[in-house]
Amino acid sequence: MTLGILGGGQLGRMTAFAALRMGLDVRFLVPEPADSVACFSGVTVADWTDPDVLRRFAEGCDAVSVESEWAPADLLAKAAPGVPVWPAPETLRLVRDKAAQRQRLAEAGMPQPVFRVCTTETAFRESAHALGLPVVVKRRRGSYDGYGNATVRQGTELSDAWQRLADPDGVLVEAFVPFEAELSVIVARRPDGETVVYPVFYTEQRDHRCHAVVVPSGFSSEIEAEAVRVALAAVEAVAGVGIVAVEMFALSDGRVLVNELAPRPHNTGHLTIEACDASQFENHARAVLGLPLGSTSLRTPAACMVNVLGTTSGPTRLVTLPEALAAPGVAVHLYGKAESRPRRKMGHVTVLGASPADARARAEDAASRLVL
Amino acid sequence: MTLGILGGGQLGRMTAFAALRMGLDVRFLVPEPADSVACFSGVTVADWTDPDVLRRFAEGCDAVSVESEWAPADLLAKAAPGVPVWPAPETLRLVRDKAAQRQRLAEAGMPQPVFRVCTTETAFRESAHALGLPVVVKRRRGSYDGYGNATVRQGTELSDAWQRLADPDGVLVEAFVPFEAELSVIVARRPDGETVVYPVFYTEQRDHRCHAVVVPSGFSSEIEAEAVRVALAAVEAVAGVGIVAVEMFALSDGRVLVNELAPRPHNTGHLTIEACDASQFENHARAVLGLPLGSTSLRTPAACMVNVLGTTSGPTRLVTLPEALAAPGVAVHLYGKAESRPRRKMGHVTVLGASPADARARAEDAASRLVL
């Protein structure tokens, strides 16, 4: 049984570890050499927009998935119509256009920030004032981790935001959400619609980038139940297959709002490798291949993941790895990236603990020891 | 940081998964193509007795380890004297000669079955009768999983055993041990002598081959403490570095006797992947590279591993994999072997549970679903 993956970053790497463990074969198609999957033999480096390349790659795959919503799943589906591609190109089209994603979620009645899709600067200015400043302005496509987003606090900044962020089909503008905290619900869904859902994760961003994830989340059971209800409905609304991560805001009044979806394994789910019976990567592989889904139960009272971001530019040096490995009970994950850059995702650490506070303290300590 | 591994079976495969996860590079040298590591890019297939091959392989490795005690570590150490090889060739020489292993353990005062090393058939017959039938006769080198061993119950079988099992330097003959149960203690030891030890595992053989491993072992704390004491001393006696598994017999009078050592990750330690903070594979990589050793603590109240052996000869077909994956909370490990054979080790399943009985029942169920 062979899983094809378009893309070669850390998500593909960790999916491959999980799939190989189960005895599945994995092959990658990447447009250029990719460090994180260089350890695997089944990597094709080629023009992944070329139908011949895609068809040859897909031949012999039981399913093809993507490592990023930007991979050319649509071209692959055209080039090799007999091979299942999950998530479906239509799901990817919806999710990677943040405006289309909002509209689809609105149609499905999902709670989310008030938003407008504006196709002219005039409409944009009017919408921003109608929503009330501050507003969050998002490029429709290609925005992630804070790139392609702007929080506009004054009317004088609107023109600049429009210039920077508007695509030919406009821009997404959202009411600023004064959230109390953020959370993530990760769902695995099979082509036949069967789903499993992971426990709710408390997530913490720093500088628009995932910093820490903790489980149990600490939210009330009412908020957790609502978050799971919304996540399952949101995944259904975009017909996600494989892992879909639903990032949400928790408000002080007990409501949760969908921030955004990621139609693939997600940074907020990395702790599932150690903390849950089946990791998000294992369930992604199972789901896209139509295999039975694995248990998402926690194996531990609590767990915390902390990201390890690059601090300097240059070849990655592991001189601080021994110090991190000396931290007790820590699972260190590094992604094999040969070059570090400030804020580049280089790895993460996960700690299982007796309580969220215990796991968090030890994970922060271990992550801080890794200077890459 | 690069770990070289001589050999390409499932032990190397699982060591690589653990090492890669920590951001280490891994390369393999194998004398012929090896399915279980075919998923990795860093595999050299060449004559591993050739000094030039070995020197080129070792260049750039921070340490080289072996996947089997039969790999040519001694030749590598000669060909590339600047590269650490662990376990040391002297350790391997001792361990792979079961007679020399017994003699070394005897010098160290380890409790073990009464034994004789016999270099003539006459001496062998006399020793067998002196020990009292039944006796266990073992080929000095190359015996494993019941191959190269014989239990002799009658004097008339002695001649046949000698013919079949004696090397030019003789044969090992041991008093038959009417053990109550078997157990395994897995030790990780660094080149500087620092060690960590895993919890004691209850092990069950079927037909001379590991069938199931359970933790907690169910032995009394006195027996467990004695087993750990003996294991640490035995590993010290052979100067093991990396993982050493110490298989032992537990007798009804509370004593434990060393059955044999394996100077590498071991089938009885596979459940450490899910059940312990750091797996035997992770600690093997850490130890041979001189990195800090990881915590061997249990993450779970109980765990059980059951082996999945081949049942028929021919290409491996995964038709029963979905059924095994449908068993709740089971970690399925398959080794990527393209060909199955009756009794070939094809994979294993591990289940974490609330109690040994719970984990055992679910692991047996899952393993029985996999027909390969």
A289: nearest Cα among A43, A95, A92, A19: A19
The separation between the first and the last C-alpha atoms of chain B, rounded to the nearest angstrom, is 37
What is the distance in angstroms between the Cα of A50 and the nearest Cα belonging to chain B? 25
Domains and CATH numbers, chain B: 2-85 (3.40.50.20), 114-175 (3.30.1490.20), 181-369 (3.30.470.20)
Number of residues that this document lists for chain B: 372
Distance of CA A213 to the CA centre of its chain: 13
Q: What is the pTM of this model?
A: 0.96
Write the pLDDT tens digit of every residue in B85-139: 999 999 999 999 999 999 999 999 999 999 999 999 999 999 999 999 999 999 9
Cβ contacts from A onto B, under 8 A: 110
- Taking an 8 Å cut-off on Cβ atoms, the answer to whether A39 and B42 are in contact is yes
CB-closest option in B21, B26, B299 to A299: B299
Q: How far apart are CA A188 and CA A306, in angstroms?
A: 23
Compute the nearest-CA separation of A326 from chain B (Å): 5
- Answer with the residue of higher pLDDT: B68 or A29: A29
pLDDT tens, residue by residue, B214-224: 999 999 999 99
**Interchain contact, A322 vs B17, CB within 8 Å:** no
Do residues B4 and A320 lie in contact, with contact meaning Cβ atoms separated by under 8 Å? no
pLDDT digits (tens, 9 = 90+) for A121-147: 999 999 999 999 999 999 999 877 778
pLDDT at res. A349: 98
Position B142 pLDDT exceeds 90: no
| C-alpha distance from B138 to closest chain A C-alpha (Å) | 35
Q: Given a cut of 80, is residue B145 above it in pLDDT? A: no
* Nearest CB partner across the interface for B295, out of A300, A329, A335: A329
Phi-psi region of B363 (alpha: psi -120 to 50; beta: other; left: phi over 0): alpha
Cβ atoms of residues A261 and A95 within 8 Å: yes
Nearest Cα neighbor of A12 from B109, A29, A24, A1 is A29
> B299 to chain A: nearest residue by CA?
A300
Task: Check residue A69 and give its pLDDT.
Answer: 85
Confidence (pLDDT) at A41: 97
Q: Does B143 score more than 80 pLDDT?
A: no
Mean pLDDT of chain A, nearest integer: 96
Tell me what the mean pLDDT of segment B254-276 comes to: 97
If one counts every other C-beta atom within 10 angstroms of the C-beta of residue B126, the result is 13
For residues A366 and A331, is the Cβ–Cβ distance under 8 A? no
Low-confidence ranges of chain A (pLDDT < 50): none
Residue A208 has a pLDDT of 86
Rg (CA), chain B: 20
Mean per-residue pLDDT for B307-330?
96
Q: If you average pLDDT over residues B173-188, what whole number do you get? A: 97
Per residue in A152-192, pLDDT (tens digit) is 999 999 999 999 999 999 999 999 999 999 999 999 999 99
Cross-chain CB nearest to A38 (options B41, B277, B291): B41
Positive or negative, the CA dihedral A145, A147, A149, A152 is: positive
pLDDT the model gives residue B183: 98
Q: What's the burial of A235, exposed, middle or buried (CB within 10 Å: 0-12/13-18/19+)?
A: buried
Beta carbons of A1 and B328 less than 8 Å apart: no
Of the residues A196, A289, A325, A349, the best mutation for testing chain B's interface (the one with the most B CB atoms within 10 Å of its CB) is A325
User: For residue A293, what is the DSSP state?
Assistant: P
User: Which pair of structure tokens corresponds to residue B169?
Assistant: 């330097």
Q: How far is CA A86 from CA A36, A92, A242, in A?
A: 22, 9, 7
Q: Is residue A165 a contact partner of residue A148, using CB atoms and an 8 Å limit?
A: yes
Contact criterion met (CB < 8 Å) for A295 and B39: no
What the block records as the tokens of B195 is 């060690």
Q: In the prediction, which pLDDT does B293 show? A: 98
What percentage of chain B reaches a pLDDT higher than 90? 96
Which structure tokens are listed for B77? 């150490």
Quickly state the pLDDT bin for B278 (edges 50, 70, 90). Answer: very high
Q: What is the mean pLDDT of residues B41-69?
A: 96
Residue contact A326–B292, C-beta within 8 A: yes
Q: Which helix (H) or strand (E) holds A142?
A: none
Instruction: Find the residue in B nearest to A28 (Cα).
Output: B39
At residue A143, the pLDDT reads: 74
Dist CA A13 CA B371 (whole Å)? 29
Which positions in chain A touch B190 (Cβ < 8 Å)? Answer: none
What distance in Å separates the CA atoms of residue B242 and residue A349, rounded to the nearest whole number?
23
